[in-house]
Structure 1
């Protein structure tokens, strides 16, 4: 089992990953690491406002939300916080389905708000409010 992670910012995710290293390619909004359970599987997480986020703390990387490897044979579920692996409980199929539905709803809300913000009258209103503040 991998009990701690260090952050390695890279331009490209390397083909061979080291255990205990969280690789982040910010230009491509992706992170990768070997599964914390020790099975050796490469875990990739897309980064962005509707996906995972990586923060570099003074003690090591923090990844939110949790990493649930439901598609892997190990089905591991953990959080990386302050460079440490914190194990989360296994989820049932119903919990996995509910979690995926919640992710889809968050994405839909996020992108609908962005589409609204791109409308010319919304941008004009924001610009005018900025001038008169």
Structure 2
């Protein structure tokens, strides 16, 4: 990521799983969005980059709310404080569900017959 961001440019780093841009309203605030299965998703199309879900700058004075869709900014309406809090709760629940599912899958994998045999052999070799 460059230190100085250009207006109208969405920067993305696969290495750091992050995107950054200047707020679309023109206020100059740097917006950083983490990328990942429980965060924002970045899609590259022939028409341009899309970032989802929407960007809501609730902690900034401008309180801008918009989508970056195929390289263009699509403005969204204002949200009430209650709507913002409900969205944050939903994001929290989605993250918890995602990580709970991953943990359950990891546990199930560790209990598979092939994994149990591998662990048995590994323990035998480690005792020598």
Residue in structure 1 matching 2:6, options 6, 11, 18: 18
Alignment map for 1:1-133 (pairs within 5 Å): 13-121=1-109, 124=112
What's the Cα RMSD here? 1.7
Q: TM-score, normalised by structure 1?
A: 0.82
Q: TM-score, normalised by structure 2?
A: 0.85
In structure 2, list runs of 5 or more residues that go unmatched: 116-128
Give the number of the structure with larger relative contact order, counting CA–CA contacts within 8 Å between residues 6 or more apart.
Answer: 1
Deviations 1:58-111 (A, max 9, x none): 111100100000000000000010111000011100000000000000000000
In structure 1, list runs of 5 or more residues that go unmatched: 1-12, 128-133
Instruction: Flag the structure with larger Rg.
Output: 2
CA distance in 1, matches of 2:87, 2:53: 11
Extract structure 1 runs of 4+ deviating beyond 4 A: 120-123
- How many residue pairs align between the two structures? 115
Which structure carries more helix by proportion?
2
